[in-house]
Amino acid sequence: GRDATRAFATGDFTPSGLVDDVSGLSPQELLSIRGWLSFYSDNYEPVGKLVGRFYDENGAPTEALREAEAAMEEALKFQADSEQRKQQFPPCNSEWSSAKGTRFWCSRESGGVSRAWAGVPRKLYRPGSQGSGCVCVRSTGPPSGHPPSSQHSNRGDLDDPHLEEYEGCHPLAEQCVL
């Protein structure tokens, strides 16, 4: 047997992709491997361990396995943080036409996140990533993470430093046409 773990995440089933090295994979790719591991452990009886990168000749885990498991745990934390961020800043609805250009708008269901507020469109810049994406931002109440009775402005998350208004759009408009 041979370990081709990387191919489960990348889909590269060529000889160069059928390898056991998972270093450098994205958090999402690591989580896809974790999903495959769960599937196999739930549906198949183990018959042994393959000596190589992840298990030594005695069947004991190697440092590479511990590093891969730690990376998968970090990927789970990253996924949880991303989900929390999506709840705070759900993606905008958008459409494009050659006649009207691009329109972004917010509703109580945009981005697949049901909530009590619609929000206003803003560009969200994520540290460590290039570019921005349109998100819906709560424009009333205290900022996220602060209790309703705290001494904060009644501007919701509008003052978050990672947000930017769309040029040419009213700051409180629920839709923006560019």
At 146-159, the pLDDT tens digits run 666 556 678 889 99
Rounded mean pLDDT, 7-20? 92
> Environment class of residue 11 by beta-carbon count within 10 Å: exposed (0-12), middle (13-18) or buried (19+)?
exposed
Rounded mean pLDDT, 133-146? 86
| CB-CB contact of 92 with 109 (8 Å) | no
Burial code (b: 16+ CB inside 10 Å, e: under 16) for 120-157 equals bbbbbeeeeeeeeebbbbbbeebbeeeeeeeeeeeebb
At 74-129, the pLDDT tens digits run 999 988 888 888 889 999 999 999 998 899 999 999 988 999 999 999 999 877 66
Q: CA–CA separation, 70 vs 83, rounded Å?
A: 20
The pLDDT assigned to 144 comes to 83
Helix axis angle for 63-88 and 27-43, nearest 10°, is: 110
At 39-74, the pLDDT tens digits run 999 999 988 899 999 999 999 999 999 999 999 999
| Paired strand residues for 159 | none
The pLDDT assigned to 18 comes to 93
Query: Which three-class secondary structure string do you get for the chain?
Result: CCCCHHHHHHCCCCCCCCCCCCCCCCHHHHHHHHHHHHHHHHHCCCCCCCCCCCECCCCCECHHHHHHHHHHHHHHHHHHHHHHHHHHCCECEEEEECCCEEEEECCCCHHHCCCCCCCEEEEEECCCCCCEEEEEECCCCCCCCCCCCCCCCCCCCCCCCCEECCCCCCCCCCEEEC
The pLDDT assigned to 152 comes to 67
Residue 138 has pLDDT above 70, yes or no: yes
Residue 174 has pLDDT above 90, yes or no: no
Distance of CA 5 to the CA centre of its chain: 22
| Paired strand residues for 177 | 103
